[in-house]
Amino acid sequence: MFENLTGKLETIFSKLRKAGRLTEKNIQDGLKEVRLALLEADVNFRVVKDFIAAVEAKAIGQEVLRSITPGQQIVKIVNDELVNLMGKQATRIEFSPPLPMGIMLIGLQGSGKTTTAGKLARMFKKEGHRPLLVPADPYRPAAISQLKTLGKQAEIEVFPSEPGTNPVITCKKALEQARENNLDLMIIDTAGRLHIDQELMDELKNIISAIPVKEKLLVVDSMTGQDAVNIAKEFNSAIDITGIILTKMDGDARGGAALSMRAVTSKSIKFIATGEKLDAIEVFHPERMASRILGMGDILSLVEKAHKAVDKEKALELEKKIREESFSLEDFKEQLLQIKSMGPLEDILGMMPGFGNMKKLKNFSVDGKEFARIEAIINSMTKKERLNYMTINGSRRKRIANGSSTTVMDVNKLLKQFAQMKKMMKAFTSGGKKGKLMKLPFM
């Protein structure tokens, strides 16, 4: 989402670094460019004005002007102010009595409330909680069936609501069911509207009065730009929301909503959704987002994804195989599947320092079909061939290509890459079999 903004900021900071000794004038010229870049990213005008003023006040201080690396000092100041702008630190959901705790999702139609309800339920279930999904949108039958489908996929209980049922009655009965089944969390998917109106607000207030709701989370489509900020202001004024969830953060919008929301509403962004899959949701970390925006990557999130995707026992087994130089194509396929489970490759690369602005990488493309092609080629091999690729001669390569609907050139390319990778792995072990493998953070 922040690709364009990241590219512009990197260009601006590159100029400042090359300037050598900085003066008030070239700092102010640089900040004018930063201001324009933020406005073009659809950040709220008042937010930009206050942000630039805060950065300028620190950047023109003697500490920066006399610094040996003034350009880097300015990047640090901008980074710190971005973190402050977005809320300083992650705000997590705290579970406390009375249980079951109520989380109510509110927002306009099309913002992604129903899908987000399923994602939150799955995430909290993985953390050891026992959620109940509550369809409290009586006007859109598809919302109820969609929530049932999501519940089935995530193996989470869904309250059996019917279209046309008063949402307050639905929520009261769901509360009884949650207590009877010893569940500790209710995630309530409320009705939306095309526009904010009094009827919608009254309905939400009635639910809040009828059952214990601890969290009132506004779900906002981040691709709506400044409209998202205005929507948040109105909901916050009427309902006093406790937090915000930004959806479609994997889109190609300018991203201004994420930078404006906290400053305008004074409410924290608690989660961001980055795709359609049930696991495509994460806690919002201001410091990590600032790092991504400035093109410095997000190693912590990458390691967290790796921890979730990689089986520790398999990782230790892999380490042993690499050390003993017995890593095979079968193991290679297993690693590819684990990488795929971490999410789209573009997202993973975007978390690595230097890869934030993908447009910089000329002739670089992330082809999702390549994984499937490699998997098909390896699946077309016999077990003996997977364990020892050196046995794969010309006739075997033709058979493998035919069996995987690829070409001999594709098979040759894979085998060449695998051989190169084996050499690299050997380099990781100083002294071969007796050496110690340099561990990855998730091993």
* Cis before 98? omega within 30: yes
How far is 157 from 142, CA to CA, in rounded Å?
Answer: 18
- Fill in the DSSP letter of residue 72: H
Is 297 annotated to bind ligand?
A: no
Is 318 annotated to bind ligand?
A: no
How far is 389 from 381, CA to CA, in rounded Å?
Answer: 9
Secondary structure, 3-state, 130-149? CEEEEEECCCCHHHHHHHHH
Is 193 annotated to bind ligand?
A: yes
Task: Please report where in the chains the tokens 């002739």 appear, as a residue.
Answer: 363
Is 190 annotated to bind ligand?
A: yes
Is 250 annotated to bind ligand?
A: yes
Is 278 annotated to bind ligand?
A: no
Residue 97: half-sphere exposure toward Cβ, Cα within 13 Å: 0
Is 443 annotated to bind ligand?
A: no
Is 109 annotated to bind ligand?
A: yes
Q: Reduce the DSSP state of residue 323 to 3 states and report it.
A: helix
- Which residues make Cβ contacts (< 8 Å) with residue 129, sequence separation at least 6? 95, 184, 185
Is 192 annotated to bind ligand?
A: yes
How far is 429 from 433, CA to CA, in rounded Å?
Answer: 7
| Neighbouring-strand partners of residue 134 | 188
Is 191 annotated to bind ligand?
A: yes
Residue 173: half-sphere exposure toward Cβ, Cα within 13 Å: 14
How far is 299 from 307, CA to CA, in rounded Å?
Answer: 12
| 408-428 vs 394-403: helix crossing angle, rounded to 10 | 110
Is 110 annotated to bind ligand?
A: yes
Residue 357 Cα distances to 72, 237, 344, angstroms: 19, 37, 16
Residue 371's nearest CA partner among 334, 422, 420 is 334
Is 114 annotated to bind ligand?
A: yes
Is 354 annotated to bind ligand?
A: no
Residue pair 255/3 in contact (Cβ under 8 Å)? The answer is: no
98 Ramachandran zone, left/alpha/beta (phi>0; psi -120 to 50):
beta
Tokens coding 187: 């995630």
**Binding site per annotation, positions for GTP:** 107-114, 189-193, 247-250
**Binding site per annotation, positions:** 107-114, 189-193, 247-250
